[in-house]
Amino acid sequence: MPPMVSNLAKNDGTVTDAAVNYYEARAKGGFGLIIVEALAVHLLGRGFEFGLGIWDDKFIPGCTRLTNAVHKGGAKVFAQLIHAGAQTTPAILGTTPVAPTALLHPGYNILPRELTKDEIIELIDAFGQSARRAKEAGFDGVEIHGSHGYLLSQFMSQYTNRRSDEYGGSLANRLRVTIEILQSIRKYCGPDFPVTIRIAGDERVSEGRKIEETKVAIKLLDEAGFDGFHVTSATTASTGFVAPPSYVELAFNVTFAEKIKKITAKPIITTGRIHDPYLAEMILAEDRADMIGMGRSSIADPELPNKVARGELDEICPCVACLQGCIGHLYTNTPISCLANPFVGREGEIKIEAAAKVKKVLVAGGGPAGLEAAKTLALRGHKVDLYEKSEKLGGQLVIACMPPHKQSLAQLLQYYIKKAKDAGVNIHLQQPVTKKLIEEVNPDLVVIATGGEAIVPNIPGKELIPSETAWDILAGKVTLGPKVLVVGGGSVGCEVADFLSAQGRQVTLVEMKHDVGADMVKRVRQFVMQRLDTSHVDIQTDNKVCEIRPDGTLVCQINTAEEKALAGFDGIVWALGTKPDNALAKELAGTKYEVVQVGDCIKIADALVAIQDAQAIGLKY
C-alpha cells in the first residue's frame, strides 16, 4: 500500500483513531508493506491542513499506536517523510512557503521564499530526527518523498532548482540535499534501518528530469546507500499523472521502473493504475519490478490481497479510477472516501450488525443508492425485495459506463449487483413500483430510490429540430446526424460531447457559465478538456440557448445582453442536469407505510453521496 494523503489526522498533525483503524484494516487485509502517508518533518514542511506530522517528539506516542495496530494486523510499515517545500500555502503554514529557488508555483500560484544554506542544514537534520522518531515509534523503515513536486523533488530537478551554489546546477549538486538527508538518517538510526526513496522516472514537464537523467540519479543514490526505489512519474505541473483517472493507461509507470531495475540490485516498487491482480502478477513475472503498489485499490478494498490469496477474485471491490473520494477530498479538506467503498475512513465507526427486529422491506429503484440500501438492509437480516422499472440494474451508472475511458465503471456496477444478490436481496426487473404494488406486498418499510429524470427545457421552437437527452444518446436508444449541438457543459455534457466526437460527429458544446466541466474533479477535467480540444469540439461558454427559429437557427444570449445565432445542426442533445423523481414519495404521503427516500429522488448529488446516504439508511433501520 503506497502512501496516499487521507486527511484523517488532526489539524495539529497528530494521529487519530480513524487513521489507526484505516491502516489496521489494510494490514489485516493482507498488504505486506504499508507506507504511511506524508509525515511532515518540519512545521514549514506541511502540505495539508489535516496531514500527519513527525517534526516533534510529541508525535511518537500516536505513531506508536499506529505501528502497533499495523503490526498486529500482520504487515510491515514504513513512514513516508516529507517536506512540501513550495507545494503548500500560507493558509496552512501561517507564513510564506519555502523552496530551493523563488519560482512561482504553477499549481498554487504562490511565490515561495528561497531557502538559505543554514535553513537547508536545519532541514537535513529535521529529516534525520524525524526518522529517529519513526524508528522509536516502531516503523520498520522510512521512505523519503522525492517525487511529485515536493521539496526534494524540487531540489533534484532543473525545472524548480535554479540555484548557483553547491545545491544547484549539476545533477550531483541537485542530489546533494537528498544524499545528506540519507547520511543524517544513518547518523540517528544506524546503518541497518531501511531507507527508500520515492522518485519520478520522468517528471513529464519541460525542463524536468527525463528517464535517462533519472537513471544516472538512481546510480548515484544507490551508491550513496539508499535501500530501495519507489518509482513514479510527474510533478506539480503534470499533476494529472500523480494519481491519474481512467483516461491514463494502465501501469503507466512500469516502463520507468523496468529501466531503473536494470541498473540497480536494490528493490524496485512500481505503482500507478495497477488495479488488476493479473496485471500485477504479470509485471512481477516479467521481472519489471520487485514490489507492486496498489494504492487506490487498497482504498476500494482493504481485503484485496487476502481475496487474491484465496482465489476470490470476483469478490474484489474494484477501483475504477474515478478520483471522486480519494483525490476529490484533497480539494475540500475532508476525510478520504470512496465511490466503491463507503466504509473508507470510518472503519472503526461503521459496523453492520443484526437488526433488533426483522422487517419486510421494499426498495423502489435499482440504481447505486437502491442497491446499497438493499444490500445493507439484507445484511442486517431484513427481508428485502428490490424493484426496478427497467430491464437493467444500475440506474445512471449504466450510461456512465458509455463515454470514452469510463468502461471500468461496469466492473463496479457488476460488483454492486453481485453483493446485493449475495446478501439475499430479491430482485424484480421491469416492474415499476406503484401504490397498488406496495399495497399488495404490504412492507414494513419502503425505501424510495427512484433517482432523477433528465431535465429538458421548455425553449420556444424546440420541436423544430430533432433533440434527445444525453441519457438516451449514451444509452444507445437514439442517434442524431453528423452535426450536433450539446446544450449544457457540466460533466455529463462534456462526456457526451466526447462520446459523439469519438464517433466522428462535429460537436458544438454550449454552456451558460464561464467554464465547462466545473463539477469534475480537477484531474479528470484536465484529460477531458484535452480530448475535447484534440477532437475540435467547439466550446461556447457564457451562452444560453433561448430560442430555436423555424430555419433551425439557435439564438443564444451572451451575458443576457448580446444575441448570437448558431445554425446548421442536425440535432440537439440536452445535458442540463437532473431533477428528482419523487412522484412515488408524493403518492405515498399520508399512507400507513413507513417511507424513507434516498439518493437523487430527494436531492441531486453524485453517486458517492448517494451511496453513503444509502448505507446510512441501511444501518439506521
Catalytic choice (22, 23, 150, 247): 150
| Nearest residue to 441 (alpha-carbon basis) of 378, 367, 381, 385 | 385
Counting Cβ atoms within 10 Å, is residue 573 exposed (0-12), middle (13-18) or buried (19+)? buried
Counting Cβ atoms within 10 Å, is residue 157 exposed (0-12), middle (13-18) or buried (19+)? buried
Contact of 556 with 540, CB cutoff 8 Å? yes
Beta bridge partners, 78, equal: 35, 141
SS3 content of the chain, % helix, strand, coil (to 5): 35, 20, 45
- 159 part of the active site: no
The alpha carbon of 46 is separated from its chain's Cα centroid by a whole number of angstroms, namely: 21
CA dist 112 and 517 (Å) reads 30
Helix H, strand E, coil C: the string for 22-49 is HHHHHHHCCCCEEEEEEEECCHHHCCCC
Helices (H), 295-355: 295-300, 304-309
Helix (H, G, I), strand (E, B) or coil at 571: strand
- 595-598: long-range pairs with CB below 8 Å, 24+: 595/445, 595/446, 595/448, 596/445, 596/446, 596/447, 596/448, 596/621, 597/447, 597/448, 597/449, 598/369, 598/370, 598/373, 598/447, 598/448, 598/449
CA dist 117 and 503 (Å) reads 58
Residues labelled catalytic: 150
